[in-house]
Amino acid sequence: MGGTFINRNVDATICRRCGRPGDAKAFALDPIFKQVVCPQCVKERKKPGSTLTAEKPTDWDYEDEVLEKTHKLKQQQKPKETIRYVRINDEKIKIICPKCEFPFVYNTVRDSPRFCPFCARRAKPS
Ligand SMILES: [Zn+2]
Ligand SMILES: [Zn+2]
């Protein structure tokens, strides 16, 4: 009996940000804190002068930029229909099928197989 300040009749929970107990129904996922916080935390964040006001987390911008760059790079790196291959030895090369990306060994001496064994696309490096 006693000691606890959480009313057991409400769905009480502890704010993971400030540690204050509160009604779980009033808690919300905050886009700035990126976690579920109590209404007090949201109120504090919205206070004028708060350093947390609608500021975009810096890492988001960064990630977006990186994603965009890698996306652009990928586009540049993909000239159409270039057959990728790795030389294994004098005779054999490993071809990555340009259509289905299935890797298979091509024998340059026997000139075989000329087609991808998986999708039957002509996949001989010129
Ligand atoms: Zn809180
Ligand atoms: Zn294929």
Neighbours of ion ligand 2 (CB under 5 A): 97, 99-100, 102, 116, 118-119, 121
**pLDDT in the model for residue 78:** 55
The answer to whether residue 29 is domain-embedded is yes
**pLDDT in the model for residue 77:** 59
The whole-angstrom separation of Cα 39 and Cα 75 is: 45
- 77 and 70 in contact (C-beta within 8 Å)? no
The answer to whether residue 16 is domain-embedded is yes
The answer to whether residue 1 is domain-embedded is no
Q: Average of pLDDT values for 95-100?
A: 90
Q: Average of pLDDT values for 69-78?
A: 66
The answer to whether residue 4 is domain-embedded is no
* Exposure string for 12-48, b = 16+ CB within 10 A, e = fewer: ebebebeeeebeeeebeebebbeeebbeebbeebeee
- Ligand number with the minimum distance to the CA of 116: 2
Specify the number of domains making up the chain. 2
58 versus 119: which is more confidently predicted?
119
- pLDDT tens digit sequence for 15-71: 999 999 999 999 999 999 999 999 999 999 988 877 765 555 555 565 666 667 777
- Ligand number with the minimum distance to the CA of 41: 1
The answer to whether residue 30 is domain-embedded is yes
The answer to whether residue 73 is domain-embedded is no
Q: Which domain holds residue 19?
A: 12-46
The answer to whether residue 68 is domain-embedded is no
- Ligand number with the minimum distance to the CA of 18: 1
- Ligand number with the minimum distance to the CA of 119: 2
